[in-house]
Chains A and B, each alone.
Chain A
Amino acid sequence: MSEPADLIVVGAGPAGMAAAATALAGGLRVVLLDSGTALGGQYWRHPPEHARTAVPTDDLHHGLRRYRALCEALAAGRDTSRLDLRLEHHVWSAVRAGDGFAVHAADRREAPRETAVVLRAPRLLVATGAYDRQLPFPGWDLPGVLTAGGLQALLKGAGVAAGSRVALGGTGPFLLPVAAGLAARGVEVVEVCEAAHPRAWLRRPGPLLRNPGKWAEGAGYAAALVRHRVPLRPRTAIVAAEGGDRVTSVRIASLAPDGSPRPGTERRVAVDAVGVGWGFAPQLDLLVPLGCALTDAADGNAVVSVDEGQRTTVPGLYAAGETCGVGGAALAVHEGRLAAASVLADSRARRVPAHKHLTALRAAVVRQRAFARAMALAHPLPPAWSSWLTDETVVCRCEEVTAGTIRTARADGAPDHRQVKQLTRAGMGWCQGRMCGPAVHCLTARKRAYEPAERLVATPVTLGALADLDEEPPPPPISPTSPAPPRPPAPSAPTAPTDNGETDKECS
Chain B
Amino acid sequence: MHEEEPLTLKVVVVGAGVVGAACAFHAASAGLDVTVIDRGPVGAGTTSRGEGNVLLSDKEPGPELALARLSRTLWDEAGRELGPDTFELEAKGGLVVASSAESLAALQEFAARQEAAGVRVEQVDRVRDLEPHLAPGIPGGVHYPQDAQVQPVLAAAALLRAAVSRGARCHPGEVAGAVTARDGGRITGVRTAAGAVLPADAVVNAAGTWGGEVGRRLGAPVEVLPRRGFVLVTEPLPPMVRRKVYSADYVANVASSDAGLETSCVVEGTRGGTILIGASRERVGFDTTMNTAVVARLAAQACRLFPFLRGVHLMRAYRGFRPYCPDHLPVVGPDPRVPGVVHACGHEGAGIGLAPATGALVTAHLLGRPWRGADPADHTGLLPDRLLTPEGAHQ
Interface residues of A (CB under 8 A from B): 92-93, 95-96, 102, 104, 116, 118, 289, 291, 399, 412-415, 418-419, 422-423, 425, 428-430, 432, 455-457, 460-464, 466-471
Contact = CB atoms under 8 A, between A and B. Distances in A.
A314 to B, nearest CB: 11
Contacts of B314: 92, 457, 460-463, 466
B300 A456 contact: no
Which of B288, B296, B303, B304 is the most central at the interface, judged by chain A CB atoms within 10 Å of its CB? B296
Which of A412, A425, A467 is the most central at the interface, judged by chain B CB atoms within 10 Å of its CB? A467
Given A289-B289, A422-B153, A470 B317 contact: no
A93 B313 contact: no
A467 B303 contact: yes
Interface string B142-176: 00000000000110010001000000001000000
Contacts of B311: 462-464
Given A413-B41, A466-B314, A460 B235 contact: yes
B317 A456 contact: yes
Contacts of B272: 399, 425, 428
A416 to B, nearest CB: 8
A93 B290 contact: yes
Q: For chain B, what secondary structure do more than half of its interface residues adopt (helix, strand, loop), or is it mixed?
A: mixed
Interface in B272-304: 272, 274, 277, 288-293, 295-297, 299-300, 302-304
B312 interface: yes
Nearest to B47: A422
A306 to B, nearest CB: 21
A415 B299 contact: no
A119 to B, nearest CB: 12
Nearest to A289: B290
A92 B313 CA distance: 12
Contacts of B299: 463-464, 466-467, 469-470
A482 B317 CA distance: 39
Contact of B234 (A104, A413, A463, A469): A463
Contact of B315 (A412, A419, A430): A430
Given A460-B235, A467-B310, A95 B153 contact: no
Given A462-B313, A466-B314, A419 B44 contact: yes
A102 B316 contact: no
Contacts of A464: 299, 303, 309-311
Q: For chain A, what secondary structure do more than half of its interface residues adopt (helix, strand, loop), or is it mixed?
A: mixed
B269 to A, nearest CB: 15
A291 B287 CA distance: 11
Nearest to B303: A467
Which of A291, A428, A455 is the most central at the interface, judged by chain B CB atoms within 10 Å of its CB? A428
B43 interface: yes
Interface string B354-375: 0000000000000000000000
Contacts of A462: 310-314
A417 to B, nearest CB: 12
Contacts of A430: 235-236, 315
12 contacts: A95-B291, A95-B292, A412-B157, A419-B44, A457-B316, A462-B311, A462-B314, A463-B232, A466-B295, A467-B296, A467-B300, A467-B304
A423 B290 contact: no
B297 A457 contact: no
Given A289-B290, A423-B157, A428-B272, A469 B315 contact: no
B375 to A, nearest CB: 34
Interface residues on B, range: 35 or more
Given A291-B288, A470-B297, 4 more contacts: A462-B313, A464-B309, A466-B300, A467-B304
B207 interface: no
Q: Please name the 3 residue pairs, one residue from A and one from B, whose CB atoms are nearest each other, closest first.
A: A464-B310, A466-B299, A470-B296
Given A102-B292, A289-B289, A419-B41, A432 B300 contact: no
Contacts of B295: 93, 457, 466
Contact of B313 (A412, A413, A423, A463): A463
A470 B277 CA distance: 16
B143 to A, nearest CB: 25
Contacts of A118: 292
Interface string B69-111: 0000000000000000000000000000000000000000000
A463 B302 contact: yes
Contacts of A412: 157, 161
Contacts, number: 108
A365 to B, nearest CB: 30
Nearest to A409: B157
Contacts of A466: 295-296, 299-300, 314
B42 interface: yes
Nearest to B299: A466
Contacts of A414: 41
Contacts of A461: 313-314
A95 B236 contact: no
A461 B296 CA distance: 11
B319 interface: yes
A419 B291 CA distance: 24
Contacts of A96: 289
B199 to A, nearest CB: 24
A93 B296 CA distance: 12
Nearest to B263: A470
Contacts of A432: 315-316
Interface string B305-331: 000011111111111000000000000
Nearest to A425: B272
A466 B294 CA distance: 10
B124 to A, nearest CB: 25
B29 interface: no
B48 interface: yes
Given A419-B41, A462-B312, A469 B296 contact: yes
A480 B62 CA distance: 59
A460 B237 CA distance: 14
Interface in B232-251: 232, 234-236
A463 B312 contact: yes
B234 A291 contact: no
B315 A460 contact: yes
A457 B299 CA distance: 13
A462 B232 CA distance: 12
B298 to A, nearest CB: 8
A467 B293 CA distance: 10
Contacts of A460: 235, 313-315
B112 to A, nearest CB: 34
Nearest to A469: B296
Nearest to B234: A463
B342 to A, nearest CB: 26
A95 B300 contact: no
B303 A457 contact: no
B290 to A, nearest CB: 5
B315 A457 contact: yes
Interface string B15-32: 000000000000000000
B235 to A, nearest CB: 6
A466 B296 CA distance: 5
Contact of A456 (B48, B277, B304, B316): B316
Contacts of A471: 300
A466 B301 CA distance: 11
Contacts of A413: 41-42, 170
B318 A423 contact: no
B236 A463 contact: no
A454 to B, nearest CB: 8
A464 B300 CA distance: 7
A276 B95 CA distance: 49
Contact of B154 (A104, A418, A423): A423
Contacts of A468: 300
Nearest to B230: A456
Contacts of A425: 272
Contacts of B312: 462-463
B275 to A, nearest CB: 9
